[in-house]
Structure 1
Amino acid sequence: MLSKTKRVARSATVALAAAAAFTALMPTSNAFAINEVECRGGENFLKIWSHLDGRSSVDCYANKGRMNFGSWWVDRISTGNNDLIYYDVNGDSVRVNRWTDITFPSRPPKVKDIEIL
């Protein structure tokens, strides 16, 4: 009888230790997987035209998340099937809804971060 009680107690202890380890190793926040992808015709990625210090760039992004945009000046945004928030260097945040194509011909924003919702 005593050995059966010890086995039950040992099993319960092992189960609690495993549960505690599993809980400690799990991430505590959402994992974000925003990434730059190849721009291809016919795809509905977020597409951003930008410039900085005489260089121009056209970049596409996919997946939910937030990332640093390097404080580039943004000339045009085509959101595709993505809702977007861009954060400018002045601390403002601007939401741009999916299926929007917007240009900034006279006063482009200088964007610090982008976030796909």
Structure 2
Amino acid sequence: MISKTKKAARSVGVAFAAAATLTLAVPAGDAFAIDHVECRGGENFLKIWSHSDGRDSVDCYANRGRTDFGGWWVDKISTGNNDLIYYDENGDSVKIERWHDITFPNRPPKVTAIEIL
């Protein structure tokens, strides 16, 4: 017959093991991931016009998170309903608030990463 003390100790051990397993299995904080999405009229996505090596691109993004931008030169940004930070090749970070359109006609930044807040 198992004593009450041993039974209680075993219960505490099982509860601790279950808590440890859940802690390791569930990521800390909010699980958000930035998504590259299809640009569609009427949507309020982050929209970036850029160029690199003779190629032009228009890309749209949704959801909070950070992603690599590959060092493309950015010509225009429309933030839509997103607050944005872009990280340039010089190590600077620039925050642009939602609902802003910015054009870089003379000296476009070379962007290494973008982050939707």
Aligned residues: 117
Aligned to 2:116: 116
Identity across the alignment (%): 74
Normalised to the residue count of structure 1, the TM-score between the two structures is 0.91
Distance 1:40 1:61 in 2: 11
Q: Name stretches of at least 5 consecutive residues in structure 2 with no aligned partner.
A: none
Aligned to 2:82: 82
Distance 1:2 1:25 in 2: 32
For residues 4-54 of structure 1, give each alpha carbon's deviation from its aligned partner in whole angstroms, at most 9, with x where no partner exists. 443332222211111122223332455331010000000000000000000
Normalised to the residue count of structure 2, the TM-score between the two structures is 0.91
Aligned to 1:72: 72
Q: Name stretches of at least 5 consecutive residues in structure 1 with no aligned partner.
A: none
Counterpart residue identity of residue 69, structure 2: F
Deviation at 1:2, TM superposition (A): 4.5
Distance 1:52 1:12 in 2: 60
SS at match of 1:8: helix
Distance 2:47 2:2 in 1: 69
Deviation at 1:73, TM superposition (A): 0.3
- Determine if contact 1:32/1:66 at 8 Å carries over to the other structure: no
Farther-moved stretch of structure 1 (12-21 vs 32-41): 12-21
Aligned to 2:96: 96
Aligned to 2:63: 63
Distance 1:64 1:32 in 2: 6
> What are the residue-to-residue correspondences of 1:49-60 with 2, within 5 Å?
49-60=49-60
Counterpart residue identity of residue 74, structure 2: V
Q: Are residues 1:42 and 2:42 paired?
A: yes
